[in-house]
Amino acid sequence: MKVITIALGGNALGNNPKEQQENIDKAVPSLVDLITQGHKIILTHGNGPQVGMIYKAFDFASAHTDKICRFELQECTAMSQGYIGYHLQKGIRKELQRLGMPWHVSTLVSQVEVYRHDPSFQNPDKPIGDFYRKEEAEAIMNADPSQIFKEDAGRGWRRVVPSPKPVRIVEAESILNLLDHKFIVITCGGGGVPVVKDEDGNYQGVSAVIDKDHSAALLADLVEAHYLIILTPVDRVALHYGTPQQRELTEIGSSEARRYIKEGHFAAGSMLPKIEAALRFVEGGRGRQAVITSLEKAHLALSGKIGTRIYKS
Ligand code: ADP
Ligand code: MG
């Protein structure tokens, strides 16, 4: 039996609750199939589009009525863990029942510690939420200078927030206990709620969004996973992505991956954190492999027939 950490991309989950549940329901048989193949799975997910939507909803509503207040990003991430976790629990439970499998499924709201002095607090660069026109973004920044917008790869302007590196999963013991008792655990959603330690040693939430790919590598370490599977909208990682020279990669060694990073093949904020997370994972222990592929192909991820496999070289 192998332990597999699976990270679902927020961008593959659709734009509203209906689409999200449909996309999850389509992917679930692939995920549960990994258990049927004899493996133990633990899930995490992204929340970029969803946390942006939740933040904006409260921000917008609070400007129109004093009965609704604004929520900071840490609370919005906690809400997104519940919202996405609920759909995953629902979808997975249905499939487990259909197959008569004895597993339980549970979402764990989780905090992830980050360093107070992480450089990203001075240089916010993680895009969240939807796209704006330049004039709209400038108007929002003028009205509220704490909100920073940047142009996102030619697609429009998006709000950017600090994305500190995850250091430690606060609920680590709970996760390990559940995993030991036939629970499929959904945790560290949206990278986890980012927290820092105060002078008294207590955790305080900070307004930032951790990249879920980095937290997925931390989670995979914690549960001593053999595989880290990162599910995203593309079937394979490519060189010269989006150009006529595009070439899909079926497998890459870690030294080759580092060379491609230097050559700039992986976009910052999308594919780069996945490759970095894969490298951190495969180099952190013996016999580990990472696979990057699309949501609906998850069940083929370990067969080598699909996806990009990353191994230590
Ligand atoms: P997720 O929500 O899964 O984290 P992202 O949008 O952050 O999704 O990252 C996946 C996206 O990265 C792909 O949909 C693709 O558009 C983009 N991408 C950037 N560089 C590459 C590359 N070299 N190969 C494949 N996809 C790439
Ligand atoms: Mg992403």
What is the per-residue pLDDT for 302? 83
pLDDT, tens digit (0-9, with 9 covering 90-100), for 68-124 = 999 999 999 999 999 999 999 999 999 999 999 999 999 999 999 999 999 999 999
Q: Which of the four pLDDT bands, split at 50, 70 and 90, describes residue 126?
A: confident
The Cβ of residue 266 has, within 10 Å, a number of other Cβ atoms equal to: 19
- In this prediction, residues 279-294 reach a mean pLDDT of 95
Ligand 2 centre and the CA of 202: distance in Å? 29
Burial of residue 80 (CB within 10 Å: 0-12, 13-18, 19+) is buried
Q: Which of the four pLDDT bands, split at 50, 70 and 90, describes residue 28?
A: very high
What is the per-residue pLDDT for 137? 94
Burial of residue 29 (CB within 10 Å: 0-12, 13-18, 19+) is middle
- In this prediction, residues 147-173 reach a mean pLDDT of 91
Which residue's CA is minimally distant from atom 9 of ligand 1?
270
Based on its alpha-carbon atoms, the radius of gyration of the chain, rounded to whole angstroms, reads 19
Report the distance separating Cα 76 and Cα 294, nearest Å. 26
pLDDT, tens digit (0-9, with 9 covering 90-100), for 179-196 = 999 999 999 999 999 999
Q: CB of 272 closer than 6 A to ligand 1?
A: no
Ligand 2 centre and the CA of 200: distance in Å? 34
Residue with tokens 């990203």: 120
pLDDT over 90 (residue 127): no
Burial of residue 2 (CB within 10 Å: 0-12, 13-18, 19+) is middle
Q: CB of 191 closer than 6 A to ligand 1?
A: no
The Cβ of residue 234 has, within 10 Å, a number of other Cβ atoms equal to: 17
Enzyme catalytic residues: 10-11, 126, 212, 274
Report the distance separating Cα 248 and Cα 253, nearest Å. 15
In what helix (H) or strand (E) does residue 166 lie, and over which residues does it extend?
none
H helices of the chain, in order, are: 17-36, 48-64, 73-99, 134-143, 172-180, 212-222, 254-262, 271-283
Ligand 2 centre and the CA of 65: distance in Å? 33
Ligand 1 centre and the CA of 9: distance in Å? 9
Instruction: Give the atom of ligand 1 at the shortest distance from the alpha carbon of 13.
Output: 2
Instruction: Give the atom of ligand 1 at the shortest distance from the alpha carbon of 213.
Output: 4
Q: CB of 112 closer than 6 A to ligand 1?
A: no
What is the per-residue pLDDT for 11? 81
For the four alpha carbons of 231, 94, 90 and 180, in that order, the dihedral sign comes to: negative
For the four alpha carbons of 16, 19, 25 and 30, in that order, the dihedral sign comes to: negative
